[in-house]
């Protein structure tokens, strides 16, 4: 069992004594469990899960999600919030021009830019997955390079 809280949502796919990043099914289960929260307050109320004696702390975090209807013109279709699985880490504020460990992520297939720290986590976060296949960090000089949708990052930052 986890060493702190969260027993009610600890997925069976996630062994507490192993890195969640070694199991794509665990990462998907974490994302799915967080995604069931439909408000910022219920998302934030979920206890964090602790793996490998606090080497990894995963929590549900509320994310700003900007969906585009036209990526070339950076036309915003909607701005919503969504509960996503995230890893405890320190991020910079890319909207303020701070790109070291950027808090902006693009999901090109969904035409979304997500503003959150440490996520979103999913099967694409697993060790051995193809880097950049599903999402990309919006920051200069990252590898793999930021996806073209990141050209809309300033619009996403300003969107409300």
The percentage of the chain sitting over the pLDDT mark of 70, rounded to a whole number, equals: 95
Question: Residue 5: pLDDT band by 50, 70, 90 thresholds?
Answer: very low
Q: Considering the entire predicted model, what is its pTM?
A: 0.90
d(CA 102, CA 110): 20
Roughly how many angstroms between the first and final C-alpha of the chain, as a whole number? Answer: 40
Is 53's pLDDT higher than 90? no
Question: Residue 131: pLDDT band by 50, 70, 90 thresholds?
Answer: confident
Average pLDDT over residues 6-15: 76
Question: Which residues, other chains included, contact 141 with Cβ-Cβ below 8 Å and sequence gap of 6+?
Answer: none
For 61-75, how does the pLDDT look when each residue is reduced to its tens digit (9 = 90+)? 999 999 999 999 999
Is 16's pLDDT higher than 80? yes
Average pLDDT over residues 25-52: 94
Query: From residue 85, how far is each of 15, 29, 141, 146, 151 by CA, in Å?
Result: 16, 9, 25, 21, 25
Residue with tokens 């200069």: 140
Higher pLDDT: 149 or 55? It is: 149
The reported pLDDT for the residue numbered 3 is 38
**Region at 75 (left for phi over 0; alpha for psi -120 to 50; beta for the rest):** beta
């Amino acid at each position: 069992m986890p060493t702190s809280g969260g027993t009610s949502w600890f997925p069976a796919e996630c062994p507490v004594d192993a890195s969640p990043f070694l199991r794509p099914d665990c990462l998907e289960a974490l994302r799915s469990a967080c995604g069931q929260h439909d408000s910022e307050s219920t998302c934030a109320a979920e206890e964090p899960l602790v793996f490998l004696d606090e080497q990894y702390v995963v929590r549900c975090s509320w994310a700003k999600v900007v969906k585009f209807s036209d990526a070339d013109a950076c036309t915003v279709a909607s701005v919503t919030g969504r509960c996503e699985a995230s890893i405890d880490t320190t991020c910079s504020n890319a909207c303020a021009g701070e790109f070291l460990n950027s808090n902006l992520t693009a999901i090109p297939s969904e035409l979304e830019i997500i503003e959150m720290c440490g996520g979103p986590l999913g099967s694409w976060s697993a060790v051995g997955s193809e880097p950049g296949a599903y999402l990309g960090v919006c920051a200069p000089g990252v590898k793999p390079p930021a996806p073209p949708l990141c050209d809309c990052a300033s619009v996403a930052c300003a969107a409300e």
